[in-house]
Structure 1
Amino acid sequence: MPDIPNPDPALYTQTEWHLRVELAAAYRLLATLNMDDAIFTHTSLRIPGDTPTFLINPYGMMFEEVTASSLVRIDAGGHKICGSRWPVNPAGFDIHSAVHNGNPDAHCVIHTHSLAGMTVASMPEGLLPLNQMSLHFYNRIGRYSYDTIHFPAHEQARLVEAIGQHHALIMENHGMMACGASVAEAFFYMYYLEKACRIQCQVLAGGRAYLSVPEQAREEGAALFESRPEQKRFMWAAFVRKLYRDAPDFAS
């Protein structure tokens, strides 16, 4: 991502501003790809430092409205650090703070309520190996059962345990989650998780027999995808270039 001039060096370090621009890009792209849900769901990004803090969307703002400067910085207790007039979704804080605090490698966390994702999250079999896209998650996706709508401490612990070291999670009857060491990595996994879910919904809606990926090819494909980390960087850079062409105000 190109360096964007920091509009207020007194308010943001250059590192924080760069992260704000990256996270704002993720919000805009999720909206463009129909993975938003009005003002609900959330994507967060940890800011490196001695004190745990992360950026999250302003509660009440649609994903297509989010800009780098509108993102809210909060600490581990959910307190706003910047002077934003916007609140933070309490559920968003509970979910994302749990993953950030429980997994030091989860720098970026994306949670969606997409139609396809919620449909697959309601299927007892979960994500099926129906296509090459799904192999990104073959034996590499967690499941979190829907026991309550709330996220008290014990539910947060269950959530962290469910996702484990995976980059993706099915939140049963709820939606999907992806996380990564960067925005690029988390976005890559959510993009292909959503695509695999959409394909599965269409295949099953046909009501006919379907072909699954042969068992011997599943782990082979999953391992091959894991061995190509550069794909995540290249894809993210391409999407960001498109965003600069279509909606450059995200970086303001």
Structure 2
Amino acid sequence: MTQTHHHLPGDERDLRQDLAAALRLAVRHNMHEGICNHFSIALDDHRFLLNPFGIHWSRVCASDIITVDEHAPDNEAEITALCIHRAVHKRHPRGAVVLHAHMPYATALTCTTDPRLRPIHQNSLRFYQDVAYDNEYNGLAETFEEGERIAEAMNDKSVLFMANHGVMVASPTMAEAFDKLYYLERACEVQVLALSTGQELVELDAELAQRTKADFDQGSAYHQAHFEAIKPLLDRSYLR
């Protein structure tokens, strides 16, 4: 397995607070599902922060976030999170932050015969040629082998569509990861609604799509501005 070296700026408490904020914001945007799914942030090559199983995302505080150490025999992590997130953090070149969710519109596309995110809208172009597709659903990811298979399917793409399951986003910062997750669901919503008209989708020109994607890729300041702008929508209890 390729070894990556993720070292995020800021102290661990800041990272815990950002993780708690992202989970609560996901609820506000209907990107959550029960007490399932996980967001994680790598601390180093062997440890990562993770939301605990059993606490609703709307109530997660910084102090609730657990540290998963792959070498510790008493990991508190829910097994599917341990198997999937561990593998992606290790393999993905930019995977310091990994977000896995069963968002309605994105997940709906993963359940179709053609799940491709098509270049039909400005938001779709944010992800042009940056989406991987895992077309093999094997049930719950409860083995390290299945986690490795999923990570290999994602390769170096920012987004993975997981057949009949959900999506995953990997990015170097929480601000970028959350921004991608948010706009991914918006792009999928547009595509599902466009398909519901029964009309053919109009795909944008490849050269235009590539140029627009390149412009979006210069938007690290926007990622941070977006994340900082929406955090005040939350009550400050997530900071605890």
1:99 aligns with 2:88: yes
Residue in structure 2 matched with residue 226 of structure 1 by the alignment: 217
Whole-angstrom distance in 2 between the partners of 1:235 and 1:79: 38
Residues 10-34 of structure 1, C-alpha deviation per residue, up to 9 Å, x if partnerless?
Answer: xxxx811111101001100001100
* Runs of 5+ consecutive residues of structure 1 not aligned to the other structure: 1-13, 82-86
Residues 113-166 of structure 1, C-alpha deviation per residue, up to 9 Å, x if partnerless?
Answer: 111111111223321112010111111111112241143333222222221221
* Runs of 5+ consecutive residues of structure 2 not aligned to the other structure: 1-9
CA contact (8 A) 2:92 2:170 kept: no
Whole-angstrom distance in 2 between the partners of 1:165 and 1:103: 6
Residues 57-77 of structure 1, C-alpha deviation per residue, up to 9 Å, x if partnerless?
Answer: 111111101110011111114
Residue in structure 2 matched with residue 148 of structure 1 by the alignment: 138
2:206 is aligned, of 206, 212, 215, to 215
CA RMSD of aligned residues (A): 1.8
1:250 aligns with 2:238: yes
CA contact (8 A) 2:84 2:151 kept: no
Residue in structure 1 matched with residue 128 of structure 2 by the alignment: 138
Q: Post-superposition shift, 1:214?
A: 2.8
1:54 is aligned, of 48, 51, 61, to 48
Which amino acid is 2:47 matched to? T
Residue in structure 1 matched with residue 31 of structure 2 by the alignment: 35
Whole-angstrom distance in 2 between the partners of 1:158 and 1:205: 33
1:162 aligns with 2:150: no
Residue in structure 2 matched with residue 110 of structure 1 by the alignment: 99
Whole-angstrom distance in 2 between the partners of 1:55 and 1:210: 40
CA contact (8 A) 1:39 1:59 kept: yes
Residue in structure 2 matched with residue 122 of structure 1 by the alignment: 111
Aligned-residue identity in percent? 29
Tell me which structure has the larger Cα radius of gyration: 1
Number of residue-to-residue matches in the alignment: 229
More off after superposition, 231-240 vs 20-29? 231-240
Which amino acid is 1:249 matched to? S
Which amino acid is 1:64 matched to? S
